[in-house]
Structure 1
Amino acid sequence: MTVAIGIKGHCAHCDITFELKPWQLNAIAIEEPFDCPYCQWVLRLNCPRQLRQFKSLDHWALVRPSMVVLTCVVLMVVLVAEWVGLISVIGQFNVSLVVLLVHFLALRYARYRQRITLDLQVVTPALPIEQLARIACARLSQH
């Protein structure tokens, strides 16, 4: 995950929204539960829609370098076209402004898509505490 800014988690147990750390993002990516930093309950992302949205964040990370290259290439082509005489100075200025506008709008949209809040659900243990206590007592009494 190259861009981790703006990804937040919302604990379903303590109802607190917090910024996810890189190790928590890695745990979500491999679908591993982790502890809530506030209530210490074990959390996991269970929603398939949000999991798909989270995994698609890698694609949005490439928008910024791609737009920088595209903007530079278009500005150079327009500059050469104006130098050769294919378009006027006003035409070059207009194309440059439109390209810069598209550049900043694309970056703003990509940043908007990267800011998500994931609803993290509490993971219940496979066995209730009472059963785990009975199993532990039975094993200790065997020794």
Structure 2
Amino acid sequence: MSVFIGIKGHCAYCDITFELKPWQLNAIAIHEPFDCPYCQQILQLSCPRQLRQFKSLDHWGMVRPSMMVMTCAVLIVAMVAEWLGLLSVIGQLNVSLVVVLVHFLVLRYARYRQRLTLNLQAVNPLPIEHIARIACARLGQ
């Protein structure tokens, strides 16, 4: 089962746009290069503007649960206010419709903000000798 995230990657080497898998998103988040699923070229996100945009997706993660809680709370308050006689039935209906409309508008905006296409640049892999020197230096510490 795959969850639709809405973030796509565009390989600059083979010029193909593809849906990014969760492990690829994790690799981008920790600045780790990964292979293109089509051309097997090593890719990495190097644009600072897109990296900031990608990092800002964390702020939109809790929008859906918080909007559900807020909508339910307002609907319950409107129902109790109508029951106590503080609000008419028409007033309760208006409050309920406005809250549900705001709920769907906020979720649509959040979904719009989460859909982006990241331009992934091809990275030259390190030669084996260089990797071996780095490993020896780290093991020697």
Q: Which residue of 1 aligns with 2:17?
A: 17
| Conserved? CA contact 2:8–2:116, under 8 Å | yes
Please report how far the alpha carbon of residue 126 of structure 1 lies from its aligned counterpart in structure 2 after TM superposition. Answer: 5.3
Letter of the structure 2 residue corresponding to residue 61 of structure 1: G
Identity of aligned residues (%): 79
Letter of the structure 2 residue corresponding to residue 44 of structure 1: Q
Q: Which residue of 2 aligns with 1:73?
A: 73
1: CA distance between counterparts of 2:36 and 2:106?
Answer: 34
Alignment of 1:1-143 (within 5 A): 5-125=5-125
1: CA distance between counterparts of 2:24 and 2:68?
Answer: 30
Letter of the structure 2 residue corresponding to residue 51 of structure 1: L
Please report how far the alpha carbon of residue 79 of structure 1 lies from its aligned counterpart in structure 2 after TM superposition. Answer: 0.6
Letter of the structure 1 residue corresponding to residue 109 of structure 2: Y
2: CA distance between counterparts of 1:61 and 1:78?
Answer: 28
1: CA distance between counterparts of 2:100 and 2:70?
Answer: 10
CA-atom RMSD in angstroms: 1.7
| Conserved? CA contact 1:4–1:22, under 8 Å | no
1: CA distance between counterparts of 2:34 and 2:80?
Answer: 55
1: CA distance between counterparts of 2:20 and 2:78?
Answer: 43
| Conserved? CA contact 2:42–2:125, under 8 Å | no
Number of residue pairs aligned between Structure 1 and Structure 2 = 127
Gaps of 5+ in 2: 131-141
Please report how far the alpha carbon of residue 125 of structure 1 lies from its aligned counterpart in structure 2 after TM superposition. Answer: 3.9
Please report how far the alpha carbon of residue 59 of structure 1 lies from its aligned counterpart in structure 2 after TM superposition. Answer: 1.4
1:3-54 deviation line (CA, Å, top 9, x unaligned): 7611110000000000111111110000011111111111000011111111
The alignment's TM-score, normalised by the length of structure 2, stands at 0.85
